[in-house]
Structure 1
Amino acid sequence: MTLNLSVDQVLTTTRSVRKRLDLDTPVPREVLTECLTLALQAPTGSNAQGWQWVFVEDADKKKALADIYLANARGYLSLPPPHYPEGDTRGERMDRVRESATYLAEHMHEVPVLMIPCLQGRVEQAPQLSASFWASLFPAVWSFCLALRSRGLGSCWTTLHLFGDGEKQAAAVLGIPYDEYSQGGLFPIAYTKGTDFRPAKRLPVEAVTHWNSW
């Protein structure tokens, strides 16, 4: 299924989907391959294309990854929420964000497919700034998320499994060569319950824009 969305609609309605992931409908491999084929057109430093993409359908491996994620999520979600000024839309939505994050952590193992994008090299050993390192992966990852949206699927860019020894544990579960590749996140992938996503409330562009100096 391909949604009849304009480019602007895809860009403004691709959300972090957690509670609206359809846990019961299978996701065909060919759809994921279509999305990844599009994503691989993204720019990458020196045209290195040092990315690898690990899709996980196996129930036992999904459960192992979800356990790593949940263990780290419990500590993170128990922290006090950030403080925002009164009237700030970020503070107004924080309870809903934490609720949906908790839901995802508890149901991660039920998602049809999990995906971990990897980039060749260890970020902590990269000779360049980490921003330069990840710039060779993150554009493709977001293109993948946009392609999912255009086909009625959703995801959420999560990183909690990377905390502590989590990345190394996930590498062991999936056979990822830890010393050779860095993991860029953990993405639950599913069709969405409905496709009527809307633009989110954001800070006004005037509040975050600078011209020629800060």
Structure 2
Amino acid sequence: MTPDELLTTTRSVRRRLDLTRPVPIDLVRACLEIAIQAPSGSNRQAWQWLVVTDPDQRAALGELYRRAVDSYLESASAAGKLFQDEPGRAGVQERVGDSVAYLGPRMGQVPVLVVPCIQVAELPPGNQAGVWGSILPAAWSYMLAARSRGLGTAWTTLHLTYEEEAAEILGLPRDVRQAALIPTAYYTGSTFKPAARVPLDQVLHLDRWGSRD
């Protein structure tokens, strides 16, 4: 794939994750070696990575995710309930909602769960961009590297509804914060294409808010 193809066809994979095919740990390590080339604030490289393959650990995290998904699907902010009055978007949103519902009870069955973390003594009360900006680019790099190697991933954070319970399952010290939960597996099928997006000109502002030209 060209860089543009990789960047525009790395999608959240939920329904098409192969729950039966093992993922070699060396393949995950190769993706993480690329991930840690990402930038971090002041070059601290304070990221930490938990790669969860133990069936009991995966099941425990999966149960937290399932509980969070159940609550999410009941909420007004669930993907499938958004933009219902916009014919061009309603169908896409419903498919996203259906895929979240599908993964909900199956997260614990995914062969590898990757939890990107950031080590920080205390989250600042104000500007946290530097903290999360020091782990999120690396996590996205991991997902891109996985895609280029035939692995599917999805960016999920719903388990953080039960952040303390997840931290206990993972044995995290108090100065390590979770950024996401990334299911990782080989995917079924082979077709990935750019997603439908709101046109750039609807979200682009030049110099000041509201300026389009």
TM-score calculated relative to the size of structure 2: 0.92
2:170 to 169, 174, 181: 174
Structure 1 residue ranges without an equivalent (≥5) = none
Counterpart in the other structure of 1:149: 147
How does 1:27-106 map onto structure 2 within 5 Å? 27-80=23-76, 81-83=81-83, 85-89=85-89, 91-106=90-105
Q: What RMSD in Å do the two structures reach over aligned CA positions?
A: 1.4
Q: Give 1:141's aligned amino acid.
A: A
Distance 1:22 1:74 in 2: 22
Distance 1:172 1:127 in 2: 24
Counterpart in the other structure of 1:138: 136
Counterpart in the other structure of 2:111: 112
CA deviations 1:33-80 (Å, max 9, x no partner) are: 111001110000001000000011111111100111111111111123
2:83–2:93 CA contact under 8 A, matched in 1: no
1:21 to 17, 26, 31: 17
Distance 1:83 1:56 in 2: 36
Q: Give 1:48's aligned amino acid.
A: R
2:158 to 157, 160, 167: 160
Q: 2:134 is paired with a residue of what secondary structure?
A: coil
Distance 2:98 2:160 in 1: 21
Residue 85 of structure 1 and its aligned partner are, at CA, apart by 4.8
TM-score calculated relative to the size of structure 1: 0.92
Which protein has greater RCO, CA pairs closer than 8 Å, 6+ apart?
1
Counterpart in the other structure of 1:195: 190
1:159–1:184 CA contact under 8 A, matched in 2: yes
Q: What number of residue pairs does the alignment pair up?
A: 205
Moved over 3 A (4+): none
Task: Give me the identity figure in percent.
Answer: 45
